[in-house]
Amino acid sequence: GCGGKDDAGSGKDDGKLVLGFSQVGAESGWRTANTNSIQTAAADAGIELKFSDAQGKQEKQIEAIRSFITQKVDVIAFSPVVTSGWDSVLKDAKDAGIPVILTDRAVDSQDKSLYKTFLGSDFVKEGTEAGNWLVKQNEGKTTPVNVVELQGTVGAAPAIDRQKGFAEAIKANPNITVVKSQSGNFTRAEGKTVMEGILQSTPKIDVLYAHNDDMGLGAIEAIEAAGKKPGKDITIITVDAVKDGMTALADGKINFIVECSPLLGPQLMDLAKKVHAGETVEPRILTEETTFTQEQAKAALPDRKY
């Protein structure tokens, strides 16, 4: 880098921007694609990435961020596992003069000066899209529609917002009711076990709304094991549109998927360079997304990268 030989041994002055990134974990296909996107984009952008996996634990994320501060990285980015409890560590980063970028998930901090920008999806809108589709399917009908909801990680922005958007969308239709709502922690394994329990305790289930593909795919295993046909006996709506989800959609086991893009890497690297250079950036940067029906999934699958 431009630091030259004289700086050898200083640890960071080879001219490369150093980005510390604390990832949630590896809970889903979405997360794996997101991690790949960030690692690839960092390499492409010539950014030195210090990547840390928190295994779903907030205390590990806080530890990682503190260690990035000690190492004096240039920029810190992270995808907060839950929304609350970040003020103190973010204040430390600010005091150390290290800009922070929120990636994928939001925090509930009132002090917006604690981070430079928030890059990611509109999760409320995703929930609304899911609910709107269901309302449309039941247009003109008054028969009861019993919905089971599999929530994401308790306290995580996508779980809070996808629940909220969906509830708002179905609100005007009193025949559509969420009869059960439980967390499956965004994983396939928990989606399966939670659904097994719900299938036993809930006699009439018309619809499953899962906050991500993986929980939906786990639930599909439970539904099939109970002798029911996913996508026919129970209408299934999920969020993400990763390859396994899209395949199940094309196969008729899922009925509708709201897309949430994990490909945040290139935009994140661009933002890291800008905030490092002291440029002002938009405080909120939204990802562009679409929705998929079964027919649309069949058409999109051959080119689907993740």
- Give the residues lining the site for ligand GYE (CB under 6 A): 27-28, 30-31, 104-105, 158, 186, 212, 214, 239-240, 260
Q: What's the min distance (Å) between Cβ of 215 and ligand GYE?
A: 8
User: How many C-beta neighbours within 10 Å does residue 224 have?
Assistant: 12
Is there a contact between 230 and 195 (Cβ–Cβ < 8 Å)? no
Is there a contact between 238 and 213 (Cβ–Cβ < 8 Å)? yes
Q: Residue 36 or 173: which CB sits closer to ligand GYE?
A: 36
**CA 119 from centroid of its chain's CA atoms:** 11
Q: Residue 30 or 206: which CB sits closer to ligand GYE?
A: 30
Nearest to 49 by CA among 292, 245, 265, 216: 265
Q: What's the min distance (Å) between Cβ of 175 and ligand GYE?
A: 28
Q: What's the min distance (Å) between Cβ of 82 and ligand GYE?
A: 11
Sheet holding 145-151, edge to edge: 176-183, 145-151, 207-210, 235-240, 256-259, 291-293
Q: Mind giving me the DSSP string for 20-84? A: EEEE--S-SHHHHHHHHHHHHHHHHHTPEEEEEE-TT-HHHHHHHHHHHHHTT-SEEEE--SSSS
Q: Residue 206 or 259: which CB sits closer to ligand GYE?
A: 259
Q: Residue 138 or 292: which CB sits closer to ligand GYE?
A: 292
Q: What's the min distance (Å) between Cβ of 107 and ligand GYE?
A: 13
Burial group, residue 193, by CB count within 10 angstroms (0-12, 13-18, 19+): middle
**At residue 223, what is the residue type?**
I
Q: What's the min distance (Å) between Cβ of 144 and ligand GYE?
A: 29
Q: What's the min distance (Å) between Cβ of 168 and ligand GYE?
A: 19
Q: What's the min distance (Å) between Cβ of 258 and ligand GYE?
A: 10
In whole angstroms, how large is the CA radius of gyration of the chain? 21
Tokens 């990268």 locate to 305
Q: What's the min distance (Å) between Cβ of 156 and ligand GYE?
A: 7
Distances, alpha carbon 264 to alpha carbons 63, 69, 109, 268, in Å: 23, 23, 22, 6
Q: Residue 104 or 206: which CB sits closer to ligand GYE?
A: 104
Question: Residue 14, CB half-sphere, CA atoms under 13 Å: how many?
Answer: 10
Sheet holding 18-23, edge to edge: 48-53, 18-23, 75-78, 100-103, 117-120, 284-286
Q: Residue 173 or 193: which CB sits closer to ligand GYE?
A: 193
Collapsing DSSP to helix, strand or coil, 286 comes out as strand
Q: Residue 65 or 239: which CB sits closer to ligand GYE?
A: 239
Q: Residue 239 or 271: which CB sits closer to ligand GYE?
A: 239
